[in-house]
Amino acid sequence: MSGDWGPREEIASLADELVAARFEAYPIEASLLGLPGPHHRLTDYSEQARQRTKNAVLAIARAATAVDPTVLTEQERITRELIVQQAVALAAEIEVRSEEFSVSDGLSSPALWPLVALPIITVTDGELAEGYLERLAALPRYLETMAERQRAGVEHGLAPPGFLVRGGIAYVERYLNAHHDPLRAVTPQVEVSGFEQRRDALVTDVVRPAYARYRQFLVDELLPAARPDGQSGLWWQPEGETRYAALIRVYTTTDRPAEELHQSGLDILDKLNAEYAALGKKVFGTTSIDEIFQRLRTDPGLRWTDGDEMLRAARDAIVRAEKAVPSWFGHVPTNHIEVRPVPPAEASGGSTAFYTPPPLDGSRPGIYNLNVTDAQQRYRYLSEAIAFHEAIPGHHFQVTTARGLRDLPLLRRIATVDAYDEGWAVYAERLADEMGLYTDDLARLGMLVQDSMRAARLVVDTGLHAQGWSRERAVTFLRERTPMAPLEIEAEVDRYAAVPAQALSYMVGRLEIQRLRAGAQARLGERFDIREFHDVLLSAGPLPMSILEQVVQDWVTGLA
């Protein structure tokens, strides 16, 4: 070891160790990022492996905590705090054992996640090609491990509610019945002898039979052991209150209790009524909230004709945003984004939209995945707000900015902080209004509908997991208090049940960013520059809310 080794070098080393531990635990993540890693492996979800990961990351957290922050630079202190937060959050997620009850769809169920992730990994060389084939070959054992864990979940009292199991069964059936298997679409960018033949043989003879067996496990074993649909959340599981509180800390990076978050959601929904009334009078000629909601839900003229129309509108909104951002940001990333339809297996019962970041090697653009299934039942007035959330100035803008911060440790560029990531994207929807990006008042009503959904998430998520709400009660609440599409309401509730507390991160993060902006404006007055403020928020990478607050306060103090 060099004689120059000290606290500063130790923090840099610990940051790299934590990234390595993440990639060891979640190898697909390294592949999606286009970084070196175990590209032939899948996550080992065995109890022993999960506990090894938990112990390893907590050891890293203890080592970082032991480093004296007074001898570090400002950026090194931020890195130190982030190491601790990320390590503790990862350990908490493992301790909650969500893989034992999250079974419903590709974005929440570890068993189904490979069907979403593997097809979007860019296979740039022979090593990655061989690794892809090895991963296909490993899927049977992977699914057997998931079944073992879910059997253990039943023994631990962590059985999922029946509606989540039925959702998982339906997902696998959509995959098995789909005309085009997404796993067969992966092709290397270089010539690899026999790749296509080996790939197709593995999919036909190994992967599809394995998923058929997993489906049978869900039907024969997990569904009969599932909890009633009325017992939807962690509230019904052993130590549910403690485990939910831990997940609130993970996803919001705050210590706000469930009761406070629940009431906050109710208060925001009440406040939104004034905005609905003002815009409703302009668009529909009425200030009645019931009438406005009814028009938004039922007017056939507010729905799409087909999926192609949805995709064109999303692309048009992104082009407008790209032209406007230089007036609102000092730094503007130039990374390309594509708008693509959500794959069929994920579309039915899946999210309205989601974002897939580009890998760090530049081998693929960012992807705005838009759910165009049943387009005639989806509302055109939501298009712009969702595009600004997922693409620009939302997720794509923020993520590509962070990944371009090459002077920072890799951990700082790729940290998983939902309150920051989702909070920024929801903030971007309102920011887009300030930027003049919405084409009309109907589109601005769509922005309010998105606000209603995020506020209602605070109520419904805490209702399910901290108050024992049934699925039916959660669905009824969303129908009564938001104008969300019936098509989307049940999928939303199923998502909250499958991934406790994640849905809280959106509004909590946005409220924190808005609070920080208001405080900076109050202190700086005419010296406040919105472009500088946004650059400060984005130039340190994804951060927990407490660290982000300190970064903003330091910036304000330096100018005051």
Write the DSSP string, 344-358.
Answer: HHHHTTS-SEEEEPP
Mean model confidence pLDDT for the chain: 94
**Distance, CA of 456 to CA of 450 (rounded, Å):** 10
Rg, the chain, Cα only: 23
**Residue-level pLDDT at 347:** 60
Chain centre to alpha carbon of residue 426: 12
- At 356-367, the pLDDT tens digits run 999 998 888 999
Which residue matches tokens 């974002």? 355
Strand order in the sheet with 353-356: 337-341, 366-370, 353-356
**Distance, CA of 420 to CA of 417 (rounded, Å):** 5
Dihedrals phi, psi of 226, to nearest 5 degrees: -65, 155
**Residue-level pLDDT at 71:** 94
Contact status, residue 85 vs residue 79, Cβ threshold 8 Å = no
Kindly report the pTM of this predicted structure.
Answer: 0.94
- At 459-488, the pLDDT tens digits run 999 999 999 999 999 999 999 999 998 878
State which residues of the chain have pLDDT below 70. 1-5, 344-350
Nearest to 43 by CA among 160, 149, 187, 128: 149
Chain centre to alpha carbon of residue 227: 26
What letter represents residue 231's amino acid?
Answer: Q
